[in-house]
Structure 1
Amino acid sequence: MTSLGIGALAKRAGVRIDTVRYYERSGLLAPKSRLESGYRRYSEAELTRLRFIRRAQVLGFSLKEIGELLALSKARNVARVKRAAEVKLADVEERIAALVRMR
């Protein structure tokens, strides 16, 4: 199993180290373990989670909504995750329509 330091994790996810720390403080991400020195260690699962957080933000989800999606995903509640995504999609489509009308 690959173990990544915070710098390697941030680089592979295309984010800054302070972004990783912010997500940790927000409860969205946690290191797999810490060394005796206090250094954080992450697995590929945390990298996947970090990439999901970034993609969800790009799609317009707030950090609160992302936290809810992650909690639903952890509970394996696929139907509720799908419903939350559908609601967000409807919201985005409504915003697009409003922008088109503003032309």
Structure 2
Amino acid sequence: MSGMKSAYDLAMERLGGESNELTDGQKAALSEIDTKTKAKVAETEIMFDQQLATEADPAKAAMILQTRQQQIARIKADAEEKKENVRQKA
């Protein structure tokens, strides 16, 4: 393949790993995972921001922020796991 390399390909080169070419189906699946992940993160941010807007207690607000960050991290970790599964299927 000539032309520009993806961030994944460049990272694999730096780490000394082999970069497997992805099929069009895999690329589409990865793109769909990214799109769904962005939507879930946005939905989560909106939900927690609404809770924060109505919370007057600083301790409860801190707990809401912590929970928000944990939820977003979980969403992103799940997405990465799904993406890795797609990459492994050849």
**Structure with more of its chain in helix, by fraction:** 2
In which range does the TM-score fall when normalised by the shorter chain?
Answer: 0.3 to 0.5
Larger C-alpha radius of gyration, 1 or 2?
Answer: 2
Q: TM-score, normalising length from structure 2?
A: 0.37
Q: TM-score, normalising length from structure 1?
A: 0.33
